[in-house]
Structure 1
């Protein structure tokens, strides 16, 4: 079984989307709608937990939101005016129902449900210590360490226990937590992963992206600030805490490049407008003589529009996408497998034949996707195929909740740009510079001492400790040494 989409095989994948609502008569139905809008952030599994004032109710399932949460009997089994939900693409823990969120546990203070977007970079170390102290884990998800840290904290109130737990973890997290006392939404001190707040009547809503607020008809209020906890009590009282002190924020720059939907607002910036600005800056830095600017659908479209407007080269749809093909299907042989690539995307041969084209894509990861695209354009008769990428070369792995290949499998780690151009068989290849990317985001350039974003996938400048990763490297070195000695 393979994917029918040749352009999805080689993309960085965001790990999760979260959505929560407090004080709505049909809370679980609203969460299901919100998760539909966040489906692009995680397509392996989905879950919803509700609170009816007495009991918590949870339904979790593998697969998409549609098919699992579009039945009346499922929503009726999730009563209450408070609910939160999660869509998942795993970056830690295996793909199984026990890792599907929200995770739920009965603590001394009552029920505790948590939905997490991000990745805890010291989760394995914390987990080992908790197990040594007697904790019994029910999943392999990094999120579960938060539950155990809350359960074993010596602080008195649940809120203080939760803050105590957060101060023991590293990495990236945006969280929605439900307790009998109310809902808590929070963002890690660097604000690596996004989280926004909205309002619909008297209901307070939290979501990974503003597009989820749009779907349910809620008004966007503001982003949750890095390091902020927003508490909504059951009677609707709203308050904000900042328990971590002053830290220079480093939100993920790739949210603007690829992860977020273009109709969202991330940290008060329109994703669509930023991507057009990236395309325009790409045209300034890397011009080329060509007949058409062609986006790689769908994520390359806004940047391609910006490139076309800046360069004066006409924008055209040279790759046509079918929206009626399922994600996977059985392939009986290599020949049919090769033909199946064209079921979802096909070259617009009549437009392309004999033309010099500029292909705009958001990134190159392993390079296999770009190779397929260039080959498709060649077979359609393109005279020249130039590729322009709306991000700098991806040379480093992400440890903050993005499913990135090992560094050795990243094409930009193995080859320089000339080597990458030869690998994908393009007539030319160019990337936006890191300073150009910052300029498109409204900054003069990347600050050397205090960068404004987390751009570690491009620069290797990780803004937090990577405890688990560092320990794994040391363990591998010891294993290699032991093998040599033996």
Structure 2
């Protein structure tokens, strides 16, 4: 994705099923679980670089000893920094005789992360301040372990304002307006209620105070507690929580929008946002790793008993298609095949854009994450070429016009040429991100390979998706034009992004989408400003309706245009105005039909089609248009209380 977008976070969790002594005896270290947590997070580093957090819960700690621990950091290279610091502290304590690495009991007693329940979070923030305090896990402390709660997740709630109002009407005083804090407080409220009910029953029955904590821990129904808390949530989420007594839960939203995978062995129960990290870290086969069902919740009690159930009825399965297009690591076998299929699906449009002259075109990709789809594009182009050669050979055979020169000409000429043309300068990208407002530096984010594009060649560059078009206009096209091609064709493996996302990706402001800008420009240039006015009034009427009755009125902006018309306008808009190169720019997009054919199984496509999986999506899209029309920036689901 050439546009610099924040997106989905990553979660990792490790629940040991054996005492620490087992791992020390078998693997030589009592920190086996801690090391596995680090590896799970490292293998998902692509999912979050704004900050990280880790948490640990120790089971069965003596009264008076701490049992819950947390570290968070938003510093650069926070993942390596935090784990390095903890390991350094571990060895320092060992040198000073404060713990004995050969004695797991000593490790558990003295090392903060020498516990049985370990969780980690990688953050790509879409709102709020990017400081240590904004990193997960969030922690709600109490001197009762059964009321202490840690929560982390990859999620976004569309109705955070409404959820916070519920807290206020209940008599609570929420300090933060973020959905993470809201989720923590809502679960915490129901946890407190359940805890209090059990406590009073035990107290009134004359149970000894010293035995009450263990009995509360035993009777606490974490599955029902979370089910009650989640009843009014609207959004996409995979959430992990740990109660101070060691009870643990992991849940996935009813439409399966956010990903979550699980591995269960005799030694460990582990969770991650992606499948491959679990396979790699625990040397597991693909069929051992399962996705949590939509609306599913796995609970693990402090005694190790596990239950895989449902906290909500599953809705229509709508997993985020951007996981397949861009976010997830491409070494997952299914995702690798699907990305190749997306590239191959673009072949007819690409061939048409270059007039069928593959011998006069160079095919490349930008950025590096589009490489897998590029392999698919090249395979598709070669197959297209083979079919053409076969047809012409058969034609020549039938006419008797086939000789050695003809065979050589047909087979050797016009073969698709693939080259690595663009290279991203990571250091420059980081520098510009830190030095805001320096647009004159943006064009140097990428560099090119010179000499690969010959005179008269068209240059075809494959991108994952085109959201805002800013980098395309200010950087990529200026860089690519230095190769002096006859034409530049930029093709996106994703369809046109027309509508906001409200489930975790930083795509919420309507006016920033290049496809929306193109539709608006076409309407205004043709004297149809009234369409925009009518859509505005329709959106205002729509948001007054109950959430479940709303429709997407913004579809009216695009209704009178074919996708090709929008693409042509985008091509015009992203062409740099001041450039010595005067060649043509054409931008083409994947069709929605081909996207669905490329992806194995259902996929969420609301950012392309405007068909949202939850009521909050329709509230978001209508509010986003109103804010654009009124000239108000910001996320359309971050409305004040």
Contact 1:33 1:215 (8 Å CA) reproduced: no
**How far, CA to CA, are the matches of 1:382 and 1:200 in structure 2?**
56
Match of residue 276 from structure 2: 211
Q: Given the superposition, is the C-alpha separation of residues 232 and 436 from structure 1 closer, same or farther in structure 2, using an over 3 Å criterion?
A: same
1:300 to 364, 370, 388: 370
Higher mean C-alpha deviation, range 283-292 or range 87-96: 283-292
Contact 2:141 2:148 (8 Å CA) reproduced: yes
Q: Given the superposition, is the C-alpha separation of residues 95 and 320 from structure 1 closer, same or farther in structure 2, using an over 3 Å criterion?
A: closer
**How far, CA to CA, are the matches of 1:240 and 1:20 in structure 2?**
16
Deviation by residue 1:254-297 (Cα, 9 ceiling, x = unmatched): 110111111136xxxx1111000000111134423342210112
1:271 to 335, 338, 343: 335
Match of residue 388 from structure 1: 491
**How far, CA to CA, are the matches of 1:86 and 1:78 in structure 2?**
15
**How far, CA to CA, are the matches of 1:221 and 1:297 in structure 2?**
30
Deviation by residue 1:180-238 (Cα, 9 ceiling, x = unmatched): 24321110110000000124651111000123224423424211111111122334332
**How far, CA to CA, are the matches of 2:608 and 2:176 in structure 1?**
32
Contact 2:502 2:508 (8 Å CA) reproduced: no
**How far, CA to CA, are the matches of 2:365 and 2:480 in structure 1?**
12
| Superposed counterparts of 1:365-404, under 5 Å | 365-371=467-473, 372-404=475-507
How far 1:148 sits from its partner (Å)? 1.7
Q: Given the superposition, is the C-alpha separation of residues 331 and 479 from structure 1 closer, same or farther in structure 2, using an over 3 Å criterion?
A: closer
Match of residue 436 from structure 1: 594
- Alignment of 1:227 with 2:295, yes or no, is yes
- Alignment of 1:49 with 2:61, yes or no, is no
Higher mean C-alpha deviation, range 297-306 or range 141-150: 141-150
1:29 to 32, 35, 38: 35
Contact 1:28 1:82 (8 Å CA) reproduced: no
Structure with more of its chain in helix, by fraction: 2
Match of residue 237 from structure 1: 305
Which SS does the other structure have where 1:101 is aligned?
A: coil
How far 1:30 sits from its partner (Å)? 2.1
- Flag structure 2 segments of 5+ consecutive residues without an equivalent: 18-29, 62-66, 91-110, 198-220, 383-415, 519-565, 576-583, 632-641
Higher mean C-alpha deviation, range 312-321 or range 323-332: 323-332
Contact 1:135 1:148 (8 Å CA) reproduced: no
**How far, CA to CA, are the matches of 1:473 and 1:296 in structure 2?**
30
- Alignment of 1:459 with 2:609, yes or no, is yes
How far 1:387 sits from its partner (Å)? 1.2
Match of residue 510 from structure 2: 407
**How far, CA to CA, are the matches of 1:127 and 1:198 in structure 2?**
35
Contact 1:365 1:411 (8 Å CA) reproduced: yes
| Superposed counterparts of 1:340-355, under 5 Å | 341-342=444-445, 345-354=446-455, 355=457
Which SS does the other structure have where 2:608 is aligned?
A: helix
Higher mean C-alpha deviation, range 314-323 or range 346-355: 314-323
- Flag structure 1 segments of 5+ consecutive residues without an equivalent: 1-6, 444-451, 481-486
Match of residue 441 from structure 2: 337
Q: Given the superposition, is the C-alpha separation of residues 52 and 73 from structure 1 closer, same or farther in structure 2, using an over 3 Å criterion?
A: farther
Contact 2:48 2:123 (8 Å CA) reproduced: yes
Using the size of structure 2 for normalisation, the TM-score is 0.66
Q: Given the superposition, is the C-alpha separation of residues 462 and 74 from structure 1 closer, same or farther in structure 2, using an over 3 Å criterion?
A: farther
RMSD between aligned residues: 2.9
How far 1:348 sits from its partner (Å)? 0.6
Using the size of structure 1 for normalisation, the TM-score is 0.86
Which SS does the other structure have where 1:87 is aligned?
A: strand
Deviation by residue 1:124-150 (Cα, 9 ceiling, x = unmatched): 111122023332335443122122222
- Alignment of 1:94 with 2:129, yes or no, is yes
Q: Given the superposition, is the C-alpha separation of residues 88 and 462 from structure 1 closer, same or farther in structure 2, using an over 3 Å criterion?
A: same
Deviation by residue 1:364-418 (Cα, 9 ceiling, x = unmatched): 1111122221221111222321111101001111000111151111000111211
**How far, CA to CA, are the matches of 1:79 and 1:369 in structure 2?**
45
**How far, CA to CA, are the matches of 2:54 and 2:305 in structure 1?**
23
Which SS does the other structure have where 2:80 is aligned?
A: coil
Match of residue 141 from structure 1: 178
Q: Given the superposition, is the C-alpha separation of residues 18 and 282 from structure 1 closer, same or farther in structure 2, using an over 3 Å criterion?
A: same
